[in-house]
Amino acid sequence: MLVLSRKRNESVVINDQIVVTVIEVRGDKVRLGIQAPRDVSIHRSEVMAVIQREQAVGAAESDEADGKS
């Protein structure tokens, strides 16, 4: 994992396409602004975990329906 220090209004550029900017730092919370192409999915990690669980359940149900279990 790459660890960088940034101050408010400073940015990090990823792959010439994604810009992550520190918008605000307040206590232990950081607000980020993210500019990315529309085809790039951006989720908070806890939301991504739910999406992945739902996809795994859907895939398992699909396999059962197809008789692959």
> Any idea where the domains of the chain sit in the sequence?
1-37, 40-69
Reported confidence tier of residue 61, pLDDT bands at 50, 70, 90: confident
* Residue 19, strand partner residues: 13, 35
Given a cut of 60, whether residue 69 has pLDDT beyond it is no
Reported confidence tier of residue 60, pLDDT bands at 50, 70, 90: confident
pLDDT value, residue 68: 66
Average pLDDT, integer, range 30-42? 98
Kindly give, in sequence order, each residue whose CB lies less than 8 Å from that of residue 14, ignoring residues fewer than 6 positions away: 20
List, edge to edge, every strand of the sheet that includes 18-26: 11-14, 18-26, 29-35
44-69: buried (b, 16+ CB within 10 Å) or exposed (e) per residue? eeeeeeeeeeeeeeeeeeeeeeeeee
